[in-house]
Amino acid sequence: MSGPATLRVIQWATGGVGKAAIECVLNHPQLELVGCWVHSAQKSGLDVGDIVGTDALGVIATSDIDGLLALDADCVMYSPLVPNDQEVVAILRSGKNVVTPLGWVYPDFNNPAVQAIDAAAREGGVTLHGSGIHPGGITERFPLMLSSLSSAVTHVRAEEFSDIRTYNAPDVVRHIMGFGGTPEQAVQGPMAALLESGFKMSVRMIAEHMGFRIDPTIKTIQDIAVATADIDYDPFPITAGTVAARRFRWQATVDGEPVITAAVNWLMGEENLDPGWNFGGQGERFEVEITGDPTVKLTFQGLQPESIAEGLQRNPGIVATANHCVNAIPDVCAADPGIKTYLDLPLFAGRPAARLARSSPWFGDECAVTWGFVLSA
């Protein structure tokens, strides 16, 4: 019996997420890389293998959007630094499904911009799916899964603790995240607005799916710590008095009492900070906690690198973000047209290393395969 048809994938942008997505596509037995969009003139015309550091792949990177839209492909993995709604509309109208870590995790269909994206997907007969890890998994998928072990839940928390020195995008760290600038510049910068759309969607997904009677407004809280002395960070100076740590909280409340919290803690290390924030002796991690009967807590490790040098080389959190999108592609392509969250999709899973993969057809009718995974708890 033949296996499922190979799905043709275009990678849109080749930053850290894009490169990791290409690697995941290459390992996935149902997927084939057939195109790649790049922003820079230096990358346009290169074999994609030269960009990701592999042997030649026979796929040439290009900045020609029209050429890519005309290409015969099933799905676009869309991961530029900032999403462009008009690009997404054009991709969908060209008849290509889209997976992306840049939003639409749980969109508000009363929003005209969301309606336009959904209409474009339906017009093209394709699906758009927003994913990632935080938001896109840690803040929604795993809290919902873990909550099934509890009853009479009073609080749901999903929280990240990361050393931002391992994030290999210094321009983003400085000019978007606001590190190394004044607290006033950071508060007035774009980071809060860029983050809150995704995290507020996460909070609303949990509230609506679990049935919380939340207040109309999702509360946003942000705090800043400054350096008390110069902090060693190679790309640019973190001098005394400049931003060296940021915390964000998005909370859904019931009668003013927090019941759902999504949180981010980004620190330039644990030294020379005012206030003196740290990781609480537990190191970098993601946590999901359900307060109820019983209270259940899950800690994710391995999504942050073991050292700054490792993170600058290949950050596992970035890789996981890409993988969560790419592994959804077969189910996204099979879904009905429109915007679909993972509440609309079947449970999907990663694939084994090629040397460990079965030689028989994937997902053939002659057998059923059950997948599992182990997380540190």
Residue 377 banded pLDDT, cuts 50, 70, 90: very low
Q: Strands 97-100 and 219-227, how do they pair?
A: unpaired
Is residue 239 predicted with pLDDT exceeding 70?
yes
Percent of the chain at pLDDT exceeding 90: 78
Q: What's the average model confidence in pLDDT over 156-177?
A: 91
Residue 167 banded pLDDT, cuts 50, 70, 90: confident
Is residue 166 predicted with pLDDT exceeding 80?
yes
Contact between residue 148 and residue 209 where contact means Cβ atoms under 8 Å apart: no
Amino acid identity of 36? C
Architecture of domain 7-133+322-356: 3-Layer(aba) Sandwich (3.40)
Least confident of 80-94, 183-197, 207-221, 290-304: 183-197
Element (H, E) at 158: strand 151-163
Encode pLDDT of 336-349 as tens digits. 999 999 999 999 99
Say if domain 141-302 classifies as CATH 3.30.360: yes
Task: Taking each helix axis as running N to C, give the angle between helix 85-93 and helix 112-124, from 0 to 180 degrees, rounded to the nearest 10.
Answer: 20
Looking at residue 371, its pLDDT comes to 39
Least confident of 62-66, 175-179, 190-194, 201-205: 190-194
Dihedral angle over CA of 57, 59, 61, 67, nearest 10: -170
Is residue 94 predicted with pLDDT exceeding 70?
yes
Q: What's the average model confidence in pLDDT over 236-242?
A: 93
Looking at residue 376, its pLDDT comes to 38
Please give the structure tokens belonging to residue 108: 């508000």
Report which of 150, 100, 122 is spatially closest to residue 321, judged by C-alpha positions. Answer: 100
Q: What's the average model confidence in pLDDT over 141-158?
A: 97
Residue 192 banded pLDDT, cuts 50, 70, 90: confident
Q: What's the average model confidence in pLDDT over 137-149?
A: 95
Average pLDDT value over all residues in the chain: 91
Looking at residue 333, its pLDDT comes to 98
Is residue 368 predicted with pLDDT exceeding 50?
no
Residue ranges per structural domain of the chain: 7-133+322-356, 141-302
Is residue 1 predicted with pLDDT exceeding 50?
no
Residue 374 banded pLDDT, cuts 50, 70, 90: very low
Looking at residue 141, its pLDDT comes to 92
Is residue 35 predicted with pLDDT exceeding 70?
yes
Looking at residue 2, its pLDDT comes to 52
Q: What's the average model confidence in pLDDT over 189-215?
A: 93
Alpha-carbon span 103 to 87, nearest angstrom: 14
Q: Strands 243-254 and 219-227, how do they pair?
A: antiparallel
Please give the structure tokens belonging to residue 232: 């060693």
Residue 311 banded pLDDT, cuts 50, 70, 90: confident
Q: If you count them, how many residues does the chain have?
A: 377
